[in-house]
Structure 1
Amino acid sequence: MTANVKIEALGNENKLITFAILEGEILNLYTSFKADLQVMDAGYAKWSIEYEKANESAPDPEVYRNFAVMMSKGLDAYLSRA
């Protein structure tokens, strides 16, 4: 699955990045889809998703949990090298 993603907001104070999906296959299921990634003081990543289903048969976006975990681990590995 592919998507065109825009970083909509960066919050240095609260260590928050908001991603918005602009186009891609995911918008066949959801009319809007945003994800927040916040790095907590304890050193873990907190993801939250805001979405609106395109229709009632669209699934809840639980399938994207694995992607969030994978992205968090990649980000952690990248930042650990810096």
Structure 2
Amino acid sequence: MTLSGKMEAEVEIKVSAETFHDVFSCRPHHVSNMSPAKIQNVDLHEGDWGKPGTVITWSYVHDGVAKIAKEVIEAIDDAKLSTTFKVIGGDITTEFKECKIIVQATPKGEGSCLAHWTLEYEKLNENVPDPHTLLEFCIHVSKDVEEHHLAQQPTAQA
């Protein structure tokens, strides 16, 4: 059994790729307003929002349990609309030696995009399950971001 792995998933959402990318690259602290049932808070520890090298802590609920994840924003690629987070502390490190979370937005028509999530990981031992529920969690957060943005749009008058 291999300890290293890579999992990917994507979901189409009605948010522009640029807007979705901006949320995770520059304004992750706003995700708690967009997905309050899943993300309670995002704190800045060092650096500046929207800059590689910035260290943040996510307070979130995963599988019904309150958890934290301390991450460094390892890379922001505005051309590819992707942001790479490297986990450096928190609950994820109790099961994983290494964990990177990459979120990329690909334009798909007017005002829509594909939110693509990649988890690259190395488990501490072979008894640790693959992070399927964490990947599902990311997809659900994407849908919450979509619902938040749709709710913010003015409705068309008949």
Q: What band does the TM-score fall into relative to the shorter chain? A: 0.7 to 0.9
Report the CA distance shift for 1:52/1:68 in structure 2 as closer, same or farther (over 3 A): same
Gaps of at least 5 residues in structure 2 are 1-66, 154-158
Match of residue 64, structure 1, among 119, 122, 134: 134
- Aligned-partner Cα distance in 1 for 2:143–2:71: 19
Which amino acid is 1:17 matched to? T
Rounded Cα–Cα distance in structure 1 between residues aligned with 2:69 and 2:129? 18
Residues 1-39 of structure 1, C-alpha deviation per residue, up to 9 Å, x if partnerless? 211122111000000010111101111110000011000
Specify the alignment match of 1:13 in structure 2: 79
Q: Which residue of 1 aligns with 2:94?
A: 28
SS of alignment partner, residue 75 of structure 1? helix
Aligned residue in 2 for 1:48: 118
Alpha-carbon RMSD:
1.7
Partners of 2:119 and 2:135 within 8 A in 1:
no
Q: Which has the higher contact order (CA 8 A, sep 6+)?
A: 2
Give the counterpart letter for 1:58 in structure 2. V
TM-score (structure 2 length as normaliser): 0.47
- 74 and 7 in structure 1: CA distance in 2 versus 1, 3 angstrom threshold: farther
Q: Which deviates more, 29-38 or 63-72?
A: 63-72
SS at match of 2:142: helix
Q: Distance in 2 between matches of 1:35 and 1:64?
A: 10
Amino acid in structure 2 at the alignment position of 1:31: K
Flag the structure with larger Rg: 2
Aligned length: 82
Identity of aligned residues (%): 29
Structure 1 unmatched runs, 5+:
none
Contact 2:117 2:139 in 1 (8 A): no
**How far 1:77 moved relative to its partner?**
4.4
